[in-house]
Structures are given as structure tokens and as C-alpha cells.
């Protein structure tokens, strides 16, 4: 059996490595030549615990190789980005291009699986496109949708152990996809149809977005009421049927911050709560910016000099290097543009940034008057609170009011 994975990013590469380490031949395809070259050298281009060692092992054994052009294979998996456009319209052009690229090598009895997050109906649309272009494949290939549902930083464990929702364009495709995932997934495989599987992925992340919006809204209420939100949530969660999440500086990443728009765009009148949650979580980042600026102005009035502000964290979640849709990056951009040279930026999970100079987190903390925690990286938890500094803790590292 030969597997081809198109898209070697935060999900595609770990998936390729996992399958390859089951002694299955895997071809990886990516349009980025730098990514392809690094993988063929056994080097990683993303941060994920354990990925480097397993990648090198699979490359050395000859089970994994990367290219910019597709190969013939038995199973084709599409794991490319699906962002949204400026007007919040879902952009499935990467999926379309991936399907177009593998069309010449698709053959009878192939299994095609889309794992990219997609609007409802995308899998059927792609299948119809294939059958229109190559009518001989109608009823002769299997097409299914199986969304990933892993947590960056714990990808390998979750790829193996998490349940998977698998929906084909027909029963035969569903069963064929389940048979494939049985090779490396220990979690349960739940059969359905492709449309339900597509909406299931969007539903999971929209649900989390709504719950986070509630926590973020509480944090803004508590700030105005002069109540410690962390204490409040801890106490409320003592109720046996209450489980409030933790607030933050917004919501980022390629899933929770994006997927709700896929529902809201297609079903605008029916998704009022989902849309409002997106507004609240986006506004929380704006609120953080204003909180920082107001704190700086108060400092100026009291001390008669401009403070140095340490902005701690750029990733969209703790302990990873992924900056996609990160609210921390948005906040840093806004604050830096307004305060210019008075900011110090720390992100312990990346070495360099194309725009900002990065400072060691201990140095940033020591050399600043105002410290703003945007991401709860483990490194920051080792810092000792200095009473001479003003601390804005938006992510609950010290659970300050």
C-alpha cells in the first residue's frame, strides 16, 4: 500500500510520519520547496514534540519522501489549508488545487480522503469534479471526508487515540476509509456521510468558540466589577453541572477562530449565537489593546516618563510556535504601532520573526515596567512576580485580578 499526503503542515506532516512509521510507504507533497527539501533531509519545519526523531527515522528507512509533484498511490489524503477571504467567505481554493494536482494520477480503486476543514458539501463537490473530468472513475474510486481533531503539542497521541468521524459519498467509500484508518488509529471510527462529517468538524470548533466567548465576556464584566475572574470561574465550576472555560486574549489558530465562519457564511440567519461568539472573541483582543494603552497612559501621568512594555507570547496557544490567526500577534501589532519603540517582545518557541526582534523572556521581564502576558507558555510560569512591575495577565498565568 502506498499513501500520498498533499499538504505537509501542522497536521499533514505528523500524519505522514505516523503512517510511515507503521512501515507503510508515504509520499508527501507540498508546494513549498523549502519544506520539501527539509523533509527529505529528515529535518522538521514546525514545532511538535517527538516529530523530529520520528521524521528522521522514517526518511532513513525509506518510508517517507517529499516532492512538489504528486505520485501514483493507493490512498490520497488532502490536508491543505482552508482559510477565509477578507469578507469572511470560506476559501476552498487550496483543496480545489490539490484535487486538480492529483487528478492525473488518480486511478481505479483509489481512496481519496479530504481531512481539511471544509464547508458542507465540499466533498461531494470535489467528487463530482473528478467524475466530470474523468468519467471512467465514476463508481470506481472511493471518496470520503474525515476531519482531523488533534491538539498541537500532543498530535501523535491524539492522531492514534482520538475517535474519528468518517463520512463517505456512499457507504462503500465510508467503509473503505474506515478500513484504512484502522491501520494506525486506535480510537473508534464513527461512520456517517460526508456532509454530516463536514458539519461535525465545524460544530466541534464552533461549540468551543461559544464557550470561550462566555469566559471572555465574563472576564470583561469582572474587570469592570473589580472581581478576580479566575476566582469567580473556579467557584462557579464547583457546581456539578457547570464547566466554564478559561478566558484569554482572544481566540486563534486555524480551527476555532476560522471554522464558525464556515457555518455563518452558509447559514447566516440560523447561526446567530455562533456569529455573536465570534464577535465577542474578536472584541476581546481589541479590549486587551485598549487595556494596555490605558495602563500606559496612567503610568505616564503618575511617573512622568514613558514605560517599557514587555509583550509576552505570540503563538495562538501555549507551548507551540504556531502564529496562525493568533490574537497575541494582533494585539502586539496594534500596541507596537501605537507605542513604537517602547515594546519588548518575547516568544520562547520561535527563534526569529520577520518583523519583530525577539527578546529572551527573562530579559524582557526584567527590563520592562509593564509586563503583558498574552500566552501562558510554561516558561513564563517560572517567573517571580516583582511588586515593582505592573502586570497585565490576560491568560491566567498568575491568576491576578
**DSSP H or E segment with residue 54:** helix 51-60
The closest alpha carbon to 111, from 218, 5, 8, belongs to: 5
**Catalytic one of 146, 255, 288, 395:** 255
Phi, psi of 315 (to 5 degrees): -70, 165
Share of the chain residues as helix, strand and coil, in percent rounded to the nearest 5: 45, 15, 40
Query: Torsions phi, psi of 165, nearest 5?
Result: -95, 125
Q: Using an 8 Å Cβ cutoff, are 39 and 66 in contact?
A: yes
Q: Output the CA–CA distances (angstroms, integers) from residue 311 to 345, 377, 384, in the order listed.
A: 5, 13, 16
Sheet holding 142-145, edge to edge: 64-67, 25-29, 2-6, 75-78, 111-114, 142-145, 164-168, 189-193
Of the candidates 176, 201, 284, 317, the residue annotated as catalytic is 201
SS3 of 165, please? strand
Enter the C-alpha cell of residue 361. Answer: 523572556
200 is catalytic: no
173 neighbors 75 (Cβ within 8 angstroms): no
Bridge partners (DSSP) listed for residue 90: 84
The C-alpha atoms of residue 178 and residue 106 are separated, in whole angstroms, by: 20
Q: Is 255 a catalytic residue?
A: yes
Residues sharing a CB contact under 8 Å with residue 157, sequence separation 6 or more, in sequence order: none
394 vs 56: CA distance, rounded Å: 38
Q: Which residues participate in catalysis according to the annotation?
A: 201, 255
Amino acid at each position: 500500500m502506498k499513501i500520498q499526503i498533499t499538504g505537509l503542515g501542522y497536521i499533514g506532516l505528523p500524519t505522514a510520519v505516523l503512517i510511515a512509521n507503521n512501515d507503510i510507504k508515504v509520499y508527501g507533497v507540498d508546494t513549498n520547496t523549502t519544506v520539501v527539501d527539509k523533509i527529505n533531509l529528515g529535518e522538521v519545519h514546525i514545532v511538535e514534540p517527538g516529530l523530529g526523531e520520528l521524521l528522521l527515522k522514517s526518511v532513513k528507512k525509506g518510508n517517507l519522501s517529499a516532492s512538489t509533484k504528486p505520485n501514483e498511490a493507493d490512498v490520497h489524503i488532502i490536508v491543505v489549508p482552508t482559510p477565509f477571504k477578507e469578507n469572511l467567505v470560506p476559501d476552498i481554493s487550496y483543496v480545489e488545487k490539490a484535487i486538480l494536482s492529483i487528478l492525473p494520477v488518480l486511478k481505479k480503486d483509489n481512496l481519496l480522503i479530504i481531512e481539511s476543514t471544509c464547508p458542507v458539501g465540499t466533498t461531494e463537490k470535489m467528487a463530482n469534479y473528478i467524475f466530470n473530468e474523468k468519467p471512467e472513475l465514476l463508481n470506481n474510486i472511493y471518496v470520503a471526508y474525515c476531519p482531523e481533531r488533534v491538539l498541537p503539542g500532543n498530535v501523535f497521541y491524539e492522531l492514534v487515540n482520538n475517535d474519528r468521524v468518517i463520512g463517505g459519498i456512499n457507504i462503500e467509500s465510508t467503509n473503505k476509509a474506515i478500513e484504512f484508518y484502522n491501520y494506525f488509529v486506535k480510537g473508534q471510527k464513527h461512520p456517517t456521510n460526508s456532509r454530516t462529517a463536514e458539519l461535525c468538524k465545524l460544530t466541534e470548533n464552533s461549540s468551543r468558540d461559544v464557550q470561550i466567548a462566555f469566559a471572555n465576556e465574563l472576564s470583561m464584566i469582572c474587570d469592570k466589577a473589580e472581581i478576580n475572574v479566575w476566582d469567580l470561574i473556579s467557584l462557579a465550576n464547583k457546581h456539578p453541572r457547570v464547566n466554564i472555560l478559561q478566558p484569554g486574549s482572544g481566540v486563534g489558530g486555524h480551527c476555532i477562530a476560522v471554522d464558525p465562519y464556515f457555518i455563518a457564511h452558509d447559514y447566516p440567519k440560523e447561526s446567530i449565537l455562533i456569529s455573536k461568539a465570534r464577535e465577542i472573541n474578536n472584541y476581546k483582543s481589541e479590549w486587551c489593546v485598549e487595556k494596555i494603552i490605558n495602563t500606559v497612559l496612567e503610568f505616564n501621568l503618575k511617573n512622568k516618563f514613558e514605560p517599557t512594555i514587555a509583550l509576552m507570547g505570540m503563538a495562538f496557544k501555549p507551548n507551540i510556535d504556531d502564529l496562525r490567526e493568533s490574537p497575541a500577534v494582533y494585539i502586539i501589532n496594534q500596541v507596537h504601532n501605537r507605542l513604537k519603540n517602547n515594546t519588548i517582545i518575547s516568544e520562547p518557541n520561535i527563534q526569529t520573526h520577520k518583523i519583530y526582534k525577539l527578546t529572551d523572556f527573562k530579559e524582557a521581564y526584567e527590563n520592562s515596567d509593564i509586563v503583558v502576558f498574552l500566552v501562558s507558555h510554561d516558561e513564563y510560569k517560572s517567573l517571580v512576580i516583582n511588586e515593582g512591575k505592573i502586570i497585565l495577565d490576560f491568560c491566567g498565568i498568575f491568576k491576578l485580578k
